[in-house]
Structure 1
Amino acid sequence: MKIAVVAANGKAGQLIVKEAVERGLDVTAIVRSANKTVAQNVLVKDTFDLTADDLRGFDVVVDALGAWGPNASDIYKATEHLTAVLKGTDTRLIVVGGAGSLYVDDTHTKTVLDMAVGFPEEAMAVVKAHAHALAGLREVRDVKWTYVSPAAEFEADGARTGEYQIGGDQMLLNAEGKSVISYADYAIAVVDEAESGAHVQQRISVVSK
């Protein structure tokens, strides 16, 4: 299996690359600057400059682009660009998503974003950008996309336990009643989805056990 990880130098991207390489997959890191990953192959190119030729031949492309504050809109703009490039192909697109659009009630009327009070403006911009990306994907019919939401608490330096639970549009809680997952366990979930292709044109969510 051939996988490309876009924005592979980010915290999530590096761990997704590492997980995929350790499983023996053929991984290409797509980065804007010097490669910081363990990928066997590297393409130095800005996300928004990627073309159909650049991504031809990959089984899966992972959109791991993150942004902050005034640049938060790059999150959904990157997803829009990649869906445009991959439209009509068999290459699957897996998007590293956000938790803000997860529902917090059984009636699916309130989301994490709806309940957010006192969030810094810069953080709110990121949450809204992720939600925008998902809303856009839900309108796409000619790309084999999957959007993977982490838990509400996404721990960059959390331990790799090797275990996680998978859900859908509603926020899950672990055995301790918390919505939390480490970047390392999230990377496992992303690569599992890359290998299985079990949730095409769906949003899934993951939480620790």
Structure 2
Amino acid sequence: MATIVVFGGTGYTGGNIAREATSRGHHVISVSRSKPAEPIEGVTYETGAVEALAPRLIPGADVVVATLSPRGDTAGHLVDIYRELVRLCAAAGARYLQIGGFSSLRPAPGAPRFVEGEIPEQFRDEALEGEATRAMLVDEATSELDWLFISPPGSYGAWAAGERTGEYRIGDDVALFDDAGGSAISGADFALAVLDEIDTPTHHRTHIGIAN
């Protein structure tokens, strides 16, 4: 059993990861600014600012999963918040998984990332900040840190929750599409893939994408 700290553990991605991890017998600590409307049995909830809670919680963690979004209070500050999580994980010897965005992927091997192209104005700032967190991780993480940056597919979120199928694909930093050109996965299947990687680590210090 591992101790897994999920930052953003009451959000869509974090909640699904916490639920899957708890179902496997892991000790899960969820960190968020507010308590969930429907707590998951077995999850320990810590509420407050990430900056205040991280120094206390990360030293006892085996794995840290960061699922924050650059919205609200974190907008414009996510790189600095994640930089501190990276530092604390390296010092504690905890594995660090950071959930990013689809726009950090590439459409083809060697091609510019989606975020380097045309992004709709309403999504651009969030995409750029999300990509900046990836660049920080690649450029600044020390060799002692076992990290992984994970991108979901293009059609992913609470608005497209889907159902658990028990199936998923893992790729590198090139986006995964199905035969019809779709790029999607349910929240439950995404969490399944993340926990499989936690339980049986196969990717290290790299960027992967997950899709059905």
Do both share a fold (TM > 0.5)? yes
Q: Among 138, 146, 149, which residue is 1:147 paired with?
A: 149
Normalising by structure 2, what TM-score? 0.88
1:4 alignment counterpart: 5
SS in 1 for 2:188: helix
**Contact 1:134–1:147 (8 Å) recurs in 2:** yes
| Identity fraction in percent | 27
Please provide the CA RMSD for this pair: 1.9
Query: Quick one: which amino acid aligns to residue 204 of structure 2?
Result: V
For the pair 1:76 / 2:79, whether they are aligned, the reply is yes
1:43-88 Cα offsets, whole Å, 9 max, x none, are 2231122343321221101111123278433332321120122223
For the pair 1:128 / 2:131, whether they are aligned, the reply is no
Normalising by structure 1, what TM-score? 0.89
Q: Among 190, 193, 196, which residue is 1:192 paired with?
A: 196
Structure with higher helix content: 2
Q: Classify 1:10/1:74 alpha carbon distance in 2 versus 1 (closer, same or farther; 3 Å).
A: farther
1:164 alignment counterpart: 168
Q: Among 46, 51, 71, which residue is 1:48 paired with?
A: 51
SS in 2 for 1:180: coil
**Contact 2:32–2:48 (8 Å) recurs in 1:** yes
Deviates more, 1:142-151 or 1:63-72: 63-72
Shift of 1:205: 0.6
Structure 2 unmatched ranges of 5 or more:
none
**Contact 1:155–1:180 (8 Å) recurs in 2:** no
Q: Aligned partners of 2:93 and 2:105: how far apart in 1?
A: 28
Q: Classify 1:133/1:47 alpha carbon distance in 2 versus 1 (closer, same or farther; 3 Å).
A: same
Number of matched pairs: 205
Write the mapping of 1:88-107 to structure 2, written as runs, cut at 5 A: 88-106=91-109
SS in 2 for 1:166: strand
Query: Quick one: which amino acid aligns to residue 143 of structure 1?
Result: L
Query: Quick one: which amino acid aligns to residue 16 of structure 1?
Result: I
SS in 2 for 1:19: helix
Structure 1 unmatched ranges of 5 or more:
none
Shift of 1:132: 0.5
Query: Quick one: which amino acid aligns to residue 121 of structure 2?
Result: P
1:116 alignment counterpart: 118
1:174 alignment counterpart: 178
**Contact 1:89–1:143 (8 Å) recurs in 2:** no
SS in 2 for 1:42: strand
**Contact 2:21–2:195 (8 Å) recurs in 1:** yes
**Contact 2:35–2:45 (8 Å) recurs in 1:** no
